[in-house]
Structure 1
Amino acid sequence: MKIISMQIAALVVFLSSVNANEFCRSYVDQYTRFRSECSVGSFVLNSCCDLQPFQAPSGMYRIRKTQFDTADVYCDMNTTDGGWMVIQRNRINSTTDFSRNYTEYEQGFGNLSGDFWYGLEALHCFTQRGVWEMRIDYQLATGVTSFLHYNTFSVNIAATRYLLAAVGFTGIGTNFLSTSHGRRFSTADNDNDASTENCARIGSSGWWYNNCGIVNLNSQPPRVQQAASFVEMKIRPRNCA
């Protein structure tokens, strides 16, 4: 009974946590495998999936990007069992400017608690470690909500212009990313699309274009074949669920 009471008390503390360090401290006395990470003042995850056994809330956490580097991410712990790392969020009339150059899309921009693009180089670093899946949640301008799911998602190295792999489609609706799979990333100042036009210049944002105008989650408003009021891209290791 005493053990159960301690767990309930810890859970109360945990549910009020707003960041990874508080989450970590609330569990350090019960889960010894966290001790070494917490002892340096920050709880470093391998992915957002590490939070699943503890009913962690959605929010900002620090995860391991490479063997020697970490990165702050936003973990979605509510959608389909949680464990998702949000890599893009764009809303109609967003205050975040997605009309950026190639270097900015490489490095990432925006605010993780608002609208943002996480960065191509970081996406490559994450997705080269194992097999990752992707989910895209969106709301059309009409108010209809839906999602797309891809069983395999990866971003290749910079030398390939961050070639996209998005295969194994499931979800509600059309496979909008079928035209983006196998494409290189383009911006207005670095045109790598299959069109005779500069699609990034026309769409005023970077994307894995094939031809112009079909899908561009970074445009304003975002387009999922038609105008959307909200889009959010998120990824997690395939074995997460």
Structure 2
Amino acid sequence: MLGQNIGETANGLAAAILQAAAAQPLYTGEVACFLAERRRLQPAAALDNGMSFFERAAGFDVSGLYAISLRGWEAAVPVHCDMETDGGGWTLLQQRRNDSQVVFARSLRQYEEGFGLTGNSHWLGLRAIAALTERGLHTLRVDMWADEHQYAEYDGFWISGADYVITVGKYCGTAGDGLYKQHGQKFVACGLNQASRRDKTAHGFQSKCQGGGWWDSQKTEDTNLNGVRNPNTGDLEAHWVTRNAHFVPRVSAMKIRPVQRIAIGK
């Protein structure tokens, strides 16, 4: 009976820990997903198989919600880490579904700070993206799903300055180069093109926005994965526009990892 009670207690504790881990970001103590991916915790004494699974998950090699440390930031930042795609180590910057209930027609201030549900439809935030990319050259990967999966990768990516100007490198992939017009452009949200111009209200102008925030484009003929307003339905639809193609992905995900990935001992 005593052994059974201990076993039940262990199972309950393991289940509680797993439930908490699912609800709260797991703090990595690292500055990016690619470092968390390489880190492995020393296995602790496992109470049962459930606890052993948790210890493996805590090795940071499973895709999910984590918290990372950014230089100069007091609080840890919750991010979604993709530890599976093409070797893993990706930090998600954006994820969006065209049928999402998360509103992407927002002010520049909100795009600076980030919004949405990390791991679901969300925008990480321009300030966080700038802090991540200032640490070295990163690869940008954009995964999109319409009738089929397509992707675009750029071997250099960063944003900089008060206007969050985007720089992208050489393209490869299956989706076509949809950022050829955005390279070197400033970020625009609801018609505002400078970070010094603040919005007095958070939601009062959403219906006036022609699209979600993006790099100097809210036009239907240009790429905007945060959505361009459909004049017929009023809905925000993502657009990926290349030199010779134009399609509307149902789902998009933007993610980055360093170009030179550091091999840290397991």
State whether TM-score is above 0.5.
yes
Taking the aligned partners of 1:23 and 1:218, their CA distance within structure 2 comes to 25
Equivalent residue for 2:153, pick from 125, 149, 165: 149
- Compared with structure 1, are the counterparts of its residues 185 and 52 closer, same or farther at alpha carbon in structure 2 (3 Å cutoff)? same
Report whether the alignment pairs 1:107 with 2:128.
no
- Give unpaired runs (5+ residues) of structure 2: 1-13, 41-59, 195-207, 228-235, 242-246
Report whether the alignment pairs 1:206 with 2:213.
yes
SS of 1:87 mapped into structure 2: strand
- Residues 179 and 209 in structure 1, CA contact (< 8 A), matched pair in contact too: no
Deviation by residue 1:176-233 (Cα, 9 ceiling, x = unmatched): 10111100001114047xxxxxxxx664211003572221000022111221100000
Give the corresponding residue for 1:28: none
Report whether the alignment pairs 1:65 with 2:70.
yes
Equivalent residue for 1:215, pick from 206, 223, 228: 223
- Residues 25 and 78 in structure 2, CA contact (< 8 A), matched pair in contact too: no
Taking the aligned partners of 2:28 and 2:36, their CA distance within structure 1 comes to 11
Query: More helix by proportion, 1 or 2?
Result: 1
Larger radius of gyration: 2
- Residues 105 and 212 in structure 2, CA contact (< 8 A), matched pair in contact too: yes
- Residues 68 and 77 in structure 2, CA contact (< 8 A), matched pair in contact too: yes
- Give unpaired runs (5+ residues) of structure 1: 1-12, 25-41, 193-200
Give the corresponding residue for 1:87: 93
- Residues 153 and 171 in structure 2, CA contact (< 8 A), matched pair in contact too: yes
Count matched residues. 198
**Pairwise CA distance, 1:157:** 2.2
Taking the aligned partners of 1:23 and 1:191, their CA distance within structure 2 comes to 33
- Residues 179 and 210 in structure 1, CA contact (< 8 A), matched pair in contact too: no
Give the corresponding residue for 1:98: 104
Taking the aligned partners of 1:103 and 1:232, their CA distance within structure 2 comes to 22
- Compared with structure 1, are the counterparts of its residues 211 and 221 closer, same or farther at alpha carbon in structure 2 (3 Å cutoff)? closer
- Residues 218 and 224 in structure 2, CA contact (< 8 A), matched pair in contact too: no
- Residues 25 and 66 in structure 2, CA contact (< 8 A), matched pair in contact too: no
